[in-house]
């Protein structure tokens, strides 16, 4: 399990994206659907494996931070973390990016396990 995305909440995604691209030299890396019907813009610089994910502000009203962990096997990771006593917000579920499970800590920070899956070859 490793950190894959650092989220930046924004009330104006287009403006935030322009800021990262024009002023900080980031490049577009696509989009990611993390919640139903909510798409985040992905940006990175220097071919880094860790991406910036610009997320709509409304999703984070109750969260201080959203940390996205990349995992090879979401169900297994979910199972192992659950065994340690963590209660997830949902059972693992499917989005167009792959499989997701998320939990929130006492401070209100949200942690997402994401197993990215490619459906392109089909």
Partner 1 sequence: MENVLKLSNENRICSSKLTYKNTTEVNNNFSLHVNFNGDEKFVLNKKKLRLFPHNFLAINPGTLYSDIIDSDSPVQKLSISFAKGFIDDFKTSFLEDDNYFPDNYGNHLPSQNLTFNETIFPLLGDLKYNIEHLKVLIRSNCQDELLLNEFLYHILLNYYTLYQKDILFVEESLKDLQFATRKEIYRRLSLAKEYLYSNFDQKINICELSKYSCMSATHLIRSFRQAYHTTPHQFLINIRLQQAKFLLKNTSYPINNIVTTVGLDSPSTFIKLFKMRYKVTPLKYRTSYN
Q: What are phi and psi of 63, to 5 degrees?
A: -115, 145
41 touches 31 (CB < 8 A): yes
The verdict on 62 binding partner 1 (CB under 8 A) reads no
For the CB of residue 118, give the shortest distance to partner 1 in the complex, in Å: 9
The verdict on 27 binding partner 1 (CB under 8 A) reads no
For the CB of residue 27, give the shortest distance to partner 1 in the complex, in Å: 23
The rounded distance, in Å, linking the Cα atoms of 29 and 36 is 20
The rounded distance, in Å, linking the Cα atoms of 97 and 45 is 21
| Closer residue to partner 1, CB minimum distance, 31 or 116 | 116
Out of 1, 64, 94, 105, point to the residue binding partner 1 (CB under 8 A): 94
């Amino acid at each position: 399990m490793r950190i894959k995305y650092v989220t930046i909440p924004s009330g104006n995604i287009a403006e935030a994206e322009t800021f990262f691209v024009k002023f900080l030299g980031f490049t577009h890396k696509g989009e990611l659907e993390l919640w139903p019907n909510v798409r985040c813009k992905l940006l990175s610089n220097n071919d880094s494996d860790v991406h910036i994910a610009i997320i709509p502000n409304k999703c984070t009203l109750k969260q201080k931070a959203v940390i996205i962990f990349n995992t090879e096997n979401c169900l297994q990771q979910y199972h192992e973390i659950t065994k340690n006593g963590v209660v997830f917000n949902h059972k693992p579920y499917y989005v167009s990016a792959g499989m997701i499970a998320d939990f929130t800590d006492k401070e209100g920070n949200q942690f997402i396990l994401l197993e990215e899956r490619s459906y392109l070859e089909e």
